[in-house]
Chains A and B, each alone.
Chain A
Amino acid sequence: MKTVTLTLTNPPRLMLEGQNITPDNFAGKKAAEIAALDVWEGKQKSPLGKYFTVAGDGGATAEETKIVLRGDCTRVKRIGQQMTAGEIVIEGNADMYIGGWMKGGKIHVKGNVDSFCGIGMEGGELIVDGNAGHHLGASPRGEWRGMQGGVIRVAGSVGNDTATFINGGTIVIGGDADIHISTHGEGGTVIVKGNAKGRVGGQMVKGDIYVYGTIENPLPGFQRVGEVEQEVDGETATFTHYIGDLGERHPVSKGKTVYANLYTRI
């Protein structure tokens, strides 16, 4: 695997639209060619090299390309958007849409990210050591086909509207989650190891949510059905099991109505 190191030496005044920073776009390119790729600051198109110094060439394919971003990327958006393979390491913070519509590969952010990260995700792995903003792993605006697959891990806390319209895949949140988790969900799993604020699983049709801490304002559409012992993310624990959202339509499979499951740890 070949490594391309981008160092932000000339930070943008506005946000930088960095959707070209993916292993797919870097593969097969020399450092100079990578520096010539387009990025947008507002509506101004410029070469990547105007903001970043580029060291190292891309691998032959996306799979064999690793990108390391150094410097303060707090205002760089869309890194790894639509990537299908390879690896990205962001040494500090990053802005919105990191790993959006990602299909494969791995992104590791060592700082915090802003909103809309991992939206429309279909596969791959997005790891955030810090906190994430709103709409983590949610569906893009208007879209009813949300996260399809892959894994998102956030060590810290997240904002609101996590996993809206989730259809598949897993989101693990180490800290707390703000309101709205898995709204309209039709599959997939969300694990909140801290507390959840409320509106957990609203209009959810299918899928699973685990909350280890407390839910400040639980929804009346979820009904307690018992207690279960389950292995979640490598550890076994006992949970109170709820089904819901009873206000929503539910499909019938093999003669049984399918509900969404909400588990809170005892």
Chain B
Amino acid sequence: MSEFIIKNGFVFDPLQGIKGDRMDVAVKDGKIVEPGTLKSPKTIDAAGMTVMAGGVDIHSHVVGPKVNVGRLFRPEDKLFKSPHKSPTCSRMEMGFSVPSTFKTGYDYARMGYVFVNEAAMPPLHSPHVHEEIRDTPIIDNAAMPVFGNNWFTLEYLKNNEIENNAAYTAWLLRATRGFGIKVVNPGGSEAWGWGLNCVNIHDPVPYFDITPAEIVKGLIETNEFLGLPHSVHLHANNLGNPGNYVDTLESLKLAEGYTAKNDFGREQVMHMTHLQFHSYGGDSWGNFESRAKDVMDYVNAHDNLTIDMGQVTLDETTTMTADGPFEHHLCSLNHLKWANVDVELETAAGVVPYIYSPKVKVCTIQWAVGLELALFSKDLMRTFITTDHPNAGPFTRYPRVITWLMSRAARDATMKTFKWLDKTIDATSIDGIDRELSLYEIAQMTRAGPAKALGVSNTYGGLAPGMDADIAVYALNPENMPSDPVEIEKAFGRCAWLVKDGVVTVRDGEVVAEPAKRTIWVDVKVPENAQVQRDIYEHFLKHYSVKLDNYSLFEEHLHNPRVIEVNTTE
């Protein structure tokens, strides 16, 4: 079926401004084409259904060492929760909050997603990341190396050497086949090596004597100097603590005065990730409250920012982050098991299981905070659905998050299960919000917006001719939406059709084909920089536990690459 046409569906494509028009989408040789150009196409009947581009996830932890630590140290996450092999899939599936690579690929496909951006790649362990990317079927993956606690970065930015930092960044992106600049708790994860943290953005990093604010500004300048497809992708300081919205606003303000410089259609200079974890008021768990309004007022007024939700789904899940000190803090709160890792000159990581219970006030307030962020947003092309998988909940709950956003009744039904409903309502604005998002807005939040923010909207996130033929069809009729919100969740959980690269991949919610998946990475050409070459050589000689020759990814680790080229020498 190299030529076919998806007929009569209600098409939602925010990149082209198509808002539910009844249209045909034509596919030839893996690309979307003008419907008139096909000679004798086969037909997929999408009458009465919703047609969108394949989903794009901007922030999810799906591959790499900390994900695998989560898999290894949570065997109970698989016990009695793993389906046996589906007759239509080639591999076994297992796990709930940290699913196996195979289940990850299949479940994303079942939800109609085709592109997932791994949110944190420790550079030293990039071979492991790429091996798991290869083992994750169907979905295209990119992975962002972490820079915010990297010794090279800290040294260059301390001396305000943006050009040198840019040359190093380009080298590391190539060495790890990485996608963009991820920053996790800037300075704080390095301070964790001293048993410390950077508690706010002006708290200097031990030894390096640079503040998180300086790191973030330096990385924004580096990013725009290089003109990368994606912006700086920031996990801000002081995650998860009461009163941290003050630090969040200060972090957001670091982007003031910068404009995006790139050839990829990206407009933001900072993507602030899992904002839910950063929008808290109060000064203790007792008077913990939502400050989503304050944070979103700022985001709404500043076009050079994008955010994703990090929505709490009220499940038992596994937290994992390069924010090492945070995981230690979390472990001392819930007394569950804790894994901690130091990655030499680069980063740290921690893993702790967590139960977001509807019986716990803090958890239900967190739930409200995430939804408020989206519901207060004035521009859903800059506000994206994530659960910071698996930190606030598994990605398999996206359909439920969509349902909460689309239906006040669904939110009310969930709130009825809260033990501390009155206190949750007092500490948040959720009960006063009647807004229900439309399918068009959901398409903005789950494909068009993330694709644009990642700088890949020429390929992913839309249905214009020439783009990859990644198309999801959901059994939802926008003219006759189901009265029971559970039906919305069902439709988004198991798409009626998913076409990936022009191949019918999912049909009636079951994976029926496993087309070749890709690794997307960014190759930046920079002028020769002898100083940076020497710095790299010397650091490896003196400080790394591996030799420089063994550090860069070997070609055999890289699976089916799609290179995005950036040339700064012209």
Q: A residues touching B (Cβ–Cβ < 8 Å)? A: 101, 140-144, 249
Contacts and interface: CB of A to CB of B under 8 A. Distances in A.
Interface string B416-459: 00000000000000000000000000000000000000000000
10 contacts: A101-B80, A140-B76, A140-B79, A142-B73, A142-B75, A142-B77, A143-B75, A143-B76, A144-B337, A249-B335
B293 interface: no
B530 interface: no
Contacts of A141: 75-76
B336 interface: yes
Nearest to B335: A249
A142 B74 contact: yes
Q: Is the interface of A mostly helix, strand, loop or mixed?
A: loop
Interface string B308-344: 0000000000000000000000000001110000000
Contacts of A140: 75-76, 79
Closest 3 CB pairs of A and B: A142-B75, A143-B76, A142-B76
Contact of A144 (B77, B79, B336): B336
Q: How large is the interface on B (under 10, 10 to 19, 20 to 34, 35 or more residues)?
A: 10 to 19
Which of A140, A141, A142, A143 has the largest number of chain B CB atoms within 10 A?
A142
Contacts of A249: 335
Contacts of B73: 142
Nearest to A82: B80
A142 B79 CA distance: 10
A143 B73 CA distance: 10
A55 B336 CA distance: 48
Interface of B: 73-77, 79-80, 335-337
Nearest to B353: A144
A247 to B, nearest CB: 14
A242 B378 CA distance: 63
A103 to B, nearest CB: 13
Contacts of B80: 101
A81 B288 CA distance: 43
Contacts of A142: 73-77
A142 B335 CA distance: 14
Contacts of A143: 75-76, 79
Nearest to A248: B335
A205 B336 CA distance: 13
B41 to A, nearest CB: 43
A141 B337 CA distance: 13
A187 B79 CA distance: 23
Given A141-B75, A143-B79, A144-B337, 14 more contacts: A101-B80, A140-B75, A140-B76, A140-B79, A141-B76, A142-B73, A142-B74, A142-B75, A142-B76, A142-B77, A143-B75, A143-B76, A144-B336, A249-B335
Nearest to A205: B335
A217 to B, nearest CB: 26
B69 to A, nearest CB: 12
B375 to A, nearest CB: 35
A140 B80 CA distance: 11
B98 to A, nearest CB: 12
Interface centre among B73, B77, B335, B336 (most CB of A within 10 A): B335
A101 B80 CA distance: 11
A145 to B, nearest CB: 8
A207 to B, nearest CB: 15
A141 B79 CA distance: 9
Nearest to A145: B76
A14 B474 CA distance: 47
B287 to A, nearest CB: 22
Contacts of A101: 80
A211 to B, nearest CB: 27
Contacts of B79: 140, 143
A53 B215 CA distance: 73
A141 to B, nearest CB: 5
A101 B76 CA distance: 13
A258 to B, nearest CB: 14
B84 to A, nearest CB: 11
A183 to B, nearest CB: 13
Contacts of B75: 140-143
A141 B75 CA distance: 6
A142 B339 CA distance: 13
A20 to B, nearest CB: 14
A101 B79 CA distance: 11
B513 to A, nearest CB: 26
A140 B78 CA distance: 11
A144 B318 CA distance: 14
Contacts of A144: 336-337
Nearest to A251: B335
A162 to B, nearest CB: 19
A249 B335 CA distance: 9
Residue with the greatest number of chain B CB neighbours at <10 A, chosen from A101, A143, A249:
A143
B104 to A, nearest CB: 20
B316 to A, nearest CB: 10
B51 to A, nearest CB: 41
B68 to A, nearest CB: 14
A141 B336 CA distance: 14
A189 B22 CA distance: 67
B396 to A, nearest CB: 20
Nearest to B332: A249
A42 to B, nearest CB: 16
A143 B77 CA distance: 9
B102 to A, nearest CB: 18
Nearest to A142: B75
A115 to B, nearest CB: 16
A169 B79 CA distance: 22
A33 B337 CA distance: 44
A60 to B, nearest CB: 26
A153 to B, nearest CB: 26
A22 B73 CA distance: 30
Contacts of B76: 140-143
Contacts of B337: 144
A233 B433 CA distance: 59
A255 B313 CA distance: 35
Nearest to B79: A140
B183 to A, nearest CB: 32
Contacts of B77: 142
A143 B337 CA distance: 10
A128 B76 CA distance: 27
Nearest to B337: A144
A140 B73 CA distance: 12
B92 to A, nearest CB: 11
A142 B337 CA distance: 9
Nearest to A144: B336
A143 B80 CA distance: 13
A153 B448 CA distance: 62
A265 to B, nearest CB: 32
A100 to B, nearest CB: 10
B5 to A, nearest CB: 43
Contacts of B336: 144
